[in-house]
Amino acid sequence: MNEMRVVTGDKSGRETTEWWRGAVIYQIYPRSFRDSNADGIGDLRGIAEGLDYIASLGVDGIWISPFFTSPMKDFGYDVSDYCGIDPSYGTFEDFDRIIERAHALGLKVIIDQVYSHTSDEHVWFKESRTDRTNAKADWYVWADPKSDGSPPSNWQSVFGGSAWQWDGPRKQYYLHNFLTSQPDLNVHNPHVQEAVLDVMRFWLDRGVDGFRLDALNFSMHDPQLRDNPPSGAPMTEVTRPFDMQIKQYNQSHADIPAFLERLRGVLNEYDGRFTVAEVGGPDPLAEMKAFTEGGKRLDSAYNFDFLYAPDLTAARVRASLNQWDGTPEEGWPSWAFSNHDAPRAVSRWSSVDDYGQVARLSLLLLLSLRGNPIIYQGEELGLPQGHVAFEDLLDPEAIANWPHTLGRDGARTPMPWAANAPQAGFSCANRTWLKVDSDHAPLAIDQQIKDPQSMISYTRHLLAQRQAMPALVAGTSELLDTPDEIVAFVRSSPEGDVLCAFNLADHSVGWSPPSAFTDAKIVANERETGSGEGIATTMPRRSGYWATTNGG
């Protein structure tokens, strides 16, 4: 039996009526969502056309991955103009239409911001590399070689090889934590900070409701350029040299929170805005809490606890929940099981025979957790990882590490809108940027939307059920004493309590809930919602439920 740990809600007495607290966010990867002009690439107009569908699910907002001007070597995460829209995605008129329509439907709009690096085609970098005395000479991370000509430090790139690239015009190395075409900004420089804060103001003035901050802990480096220590991980257990170091000096600098306070000052000039940070790494908790502390920095953060997890276990869920205890000054967590960077959860956590059950169970769990659930496009369809042949791969990381990782392309294949239409209704083009997976067509929106037993219908019912129970939206959370295979917790609010219980094992497990729930009725499980049955003393394999004595 595991030890009971009490996890309470916000004890600080601060107002908890912010729209984002407990909001469900739907992530859109625009390149793969919907193509409106038959060029094989999803676009902003396609997003606008799909907003009614998204709103019908019952989510509270959308997060749109980058659509800014870019050479697309990393498909938009290499920005060449923060205040421009890439022509492949559309125009400002198209973006304004998204804002207008989303707000009319009651949806908030969050967009990505990438402040750790730009494209090497950004005008800032083009000026910075010309010489060592220009006005932007210190806007990027430049360093002389060691006396033997080797790079300034041993830092490794996420995508493989040294994180330093020699540049002829400057006769120096520049830092790139990702692709060589993604030079790192020197966010220690106050002029760089002012520039990115002006970018924020630009988009806030256009009506966005907040930002998701990409790779935030890469935004500042150790100015002394000290070598990272080894992690001790042998090459036989990792796929890239990056994982063989403890990232002590090339990321997670202690000055990042002070920059976030400047960022928060800009956000406070506008009402009701929301910020959530992506925080990667093997031990992200301290950074997540520092980045969200006390309402003076960001509102929320999420990590990769589940995004790359090879399995879904009660111990994994329990460990994640125990990290957030609701103490005063603590921030608010967000949760994602799938996204554009990670293989889809159902493919990681189940076999083909279990896809449907695990898709429902995962969503039930995600919507139970105290925090903001983020649903990645296609999760509401139960989409598994798309199959992408090696010759069709576009993701530089997948190509470099083939065949040892699933890569990112399989999570980015186009959305299936109509089962029997060309390209599954995603596009009228003869060829799409990534091929549509034919196995996804039977799961298309037009097939599921008319089936009351489909994953879409389940998603709609579950989101409506959650919205009707304040305890699940923003209530406190108390972990219960359970067998090791089960994770159970009580979400509580003044309006009522909800018992959330999950058996994540491959066999049935006996467990009786607390006496307060003896007469409780199940309002949702992995099969349906609103079943109204009583709680059994044995939980079947891979099952879960929400139960309440008073309707939540």
Residue 12: pLDDT band with limits 50, 70, 90 = very low
207 in Cβ contact with 99 (< 8 Å): yes
Check whether the bond before 416 is cis (ω within 30° of 0): no
Sheet holding 172-175, edge to edge: 142-143, 172-175, 164-167
Of residues 60, 74, 214, 437, which has the active-site annotation? 214
Q: Against a cut of 0.85, is the pTM above it?
A: yes
- pLDDT attached to residue 175: 98
Q: What tens digit of pLDDT does each residue of 253-303 get?
A: 999 999 999 999 999 999 999 999 999 887 889 999 999 998 899 999 999
Q: Which of 552, 517, 448, 535 is nearest to 57 (CA)?
A: 448
- Rounded Cα distance between 229 and 357, Å, is 43
Q: Which of 179, 209, 32, 49 is nearest to 117 (CA)?
A: 179
Domains delineated in the chain:
22-116+189-220+255-387+407-463 (3.20.20.80)
Q: What tens digit of pLDDT does each residue of 178-231 get?
A: 999 999 999 999 999 999 999 999 999 999 999 999 999 999 999 999 999 999
- Rounded Cα distance between 348 and 333, Å, is 23
Give catalytic status of residue 214 as yes or no. Answer: yes
Sign of CA dihedral 382, 301, 158, 134: positive
Q: What tens digit of pLDDT does each residue of 467-519 get?
A: 999 999 999 999 999 999 999 999 999 999 999 999 999 999 999 999 999 89
Q: Which of 271, 273, 291, 270 is nearest to 281 (CA)?
A: 291
272 in Cβ contact with 434 (< 8 Å): no
Name every residue whose Cβ is closer than 8 Å to that of residue 434 and which is 6 or more positions away in sequence: 32, 386, 388, 392, 394, 409, 412, 413, 414
For the chain, the residue count is 552
Indicate whether 452 pLDDT > 50.
yes
Tell me which of 15 and 115 has the higher pLDDT: 115
Give catalytic status of residue 311 as yes or no. Answer: no
Average pLDDT over all residues of the chain: 93
432 in Cβ contact with 409 (< 8 Å): no
What pairing do the DSSP bridges indicate for beta strands 25-28 and 61-64? parallel
Of residues 52, 93, 255, 269, which has the active-site annotation? 269
Q: What tens digit of pLDDT does each residue of 368-407 get?
A: 999 999 999 999 999 999 999 999 999 887 887 787 776 8
Indicate whether 1 pLDDT > 60.
no
